[in-house]
């Protein structure tokens, strides 16, 4: 769960007043609070729905309208506001075009949020701006929440795996949609990767190993492969189950793509076994993986310079992507 990454632990219990309005993506219109309305991509970035006629398997879902929690965060990379989106029923992808020379690569980013929210700033827009600056197209996924994948149920006091993995459906569909639009997006369809944080890291592991659609195909796009060509997971969760048992539903095979893993030993939210068990499973399957485990750093570090890994991981990741041929050699 990466809600703490919005700007700190306890964000849901902060007691902020709820405001009402529709322009939830505008920093000028919203300062702080929980606002009912659909999240708007910053800077006029193109945000499009990923399903042609609404998301599938929503017939029995009853939840409030989408809303956005906005907090002041002086440490934000751009500006001083951060946002998390709740109760998403209409998933979208937001396109951040490459800056400078286009490498032809693309990365789909899955923010974290414990499958309760989608933390779209610290693990979304800030990351996509960095990716775009490398000459790579970034696709920000706003997938369905809550209870859309393996999650912790406060009322039951235990983890629950829902019958329908709606977040995985959205993740698979997004990769397929990006690959189907490769010519329009000016990307190489064999250079499409995924990057995820916390719960989003679990989506990285799932999309790296589950290629059959988790939904009934809706159009010809669902004939396109959803397998990413490379994968990047930051402090993933949900892989290491109670007792240190590897997720029994996640079958890692030699078809998984090369993977970059990063986490901190002192992460209070996702134990380090999520990364180490997955790395071992990849190794046993013969899949190359690069793993960086920092002694400190906690949870939900991104690009903000307040944790030790923040200043280090961009260079490590760039080098790895260069070795894969995703980025040109410096």
Beta-bridge mates of residue 138: 96, 107
pLDDT, position 31: 65
Q: Which helix (H) or strand (E) holds 289?
A: strand 289-294
Per-residue pLDDT tens digits of the chain, which is 330 residues long = 345 455 443 333 222 222 323 334 444 455 689 999 999 998 889 999 999 999 999 999 999 999 999 999 999 998 899 999 999 999 999 999 999 999 999 999 999 999 999 999 999 999 999 999 999 999 999 999 999 999 999 999 999 999 999 999 999 999 999 999 999 999 999 999 999 999 999 999 999 999 999 999 999 999 999 999 999 999 999 999 999 999 999 999 999 999 999 999 999 999 999 999 999 999 999 999 999 999 999 999 999 987 789 889 999 999 999 999 999 998
Q: What is the pLDDT of residues 22-38, one digit of tens each?
A: 334 444 455 689 999 99
CB–CB of 62/56 below 8 Å? no
Q: What is the pLDDT of residues 106-128, one digit of tens each?
A: 999 999 999 999 999 999 999 99
Question: What are the Cα distances from residue 157, in Å, to 12, 42, 83, 151, 152?
Answer: 18, 37, 27, 11, 7
- For residue 325, is it left (φ>0), alpha (ψ between -120 and 50) or beta? left
* CB-CB neighbours of 79 under 10 Å: 14
């Amino acid at each position: 769960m990466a809600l703490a990454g919005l700007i700190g632990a306890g964000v849901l219990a902060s007691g902020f007043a709820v405001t009402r309005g529709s322009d939830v993506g505008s920093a000028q219109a919203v300062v702080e609070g929980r606002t009912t309305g659909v999240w708007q991509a910053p800077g006029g970035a193109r945000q499009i729905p990923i399903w042609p006629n609404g998301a599938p398997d929503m017939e029995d879902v009853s939840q409030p309208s989408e809303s956005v929690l906005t907090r002041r965060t002086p440490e934000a990379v751009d500006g001083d506001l951060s946002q998390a989106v709740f109760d998403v029923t209409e998933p979208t992808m937001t396109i951040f075009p490459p800056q400078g020379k286009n490498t032809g690569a693309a990365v789909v980013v899955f923010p974290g949020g414990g499958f309760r929210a989608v933390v779209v700033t610290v693990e979304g827009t800030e990351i996509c701006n960095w990716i775009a600056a490398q000459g790579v197209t970034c696709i920000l996924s706003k997938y369905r929440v809550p209870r859309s994948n393996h999650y912790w149920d406060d009322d039951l006091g235990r983890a629950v795996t829902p019958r329908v993995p709606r977040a995985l459906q959205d993740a698979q569909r997004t990769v397929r949609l990006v690959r189907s639009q490769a010519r329009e997006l000016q990307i190489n369809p064999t250079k499409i990767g995924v990057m995820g944080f916390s719960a989003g890291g679990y989506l990285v592991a799932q999309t790296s190993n589950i290629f059959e659609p988790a939904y009934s195909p809706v159009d010809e796009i669902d004939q396109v492969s959803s397998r990413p060509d490379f994968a990047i997971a930051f402090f993933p969760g949900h892989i290491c189950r109670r007792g240190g048992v590897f997720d029994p539903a996640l079958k890692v095979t030699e078809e998984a793509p090369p993977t970059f893993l990063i986490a901190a030993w002192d992460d209070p939210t996702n134990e380090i076994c999520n990364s180490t068990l997955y790395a071992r499973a990849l190794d046993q399957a013969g899949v190359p993986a690069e793993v960086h485990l920092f002694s400190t750093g906690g949870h939900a570090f991104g690009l903000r310079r307040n944790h030790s890994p923040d200043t280090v991981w961009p260079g490590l990741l760039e080098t790895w992507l260069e070795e894969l041929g995703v980025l040109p050699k410096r």
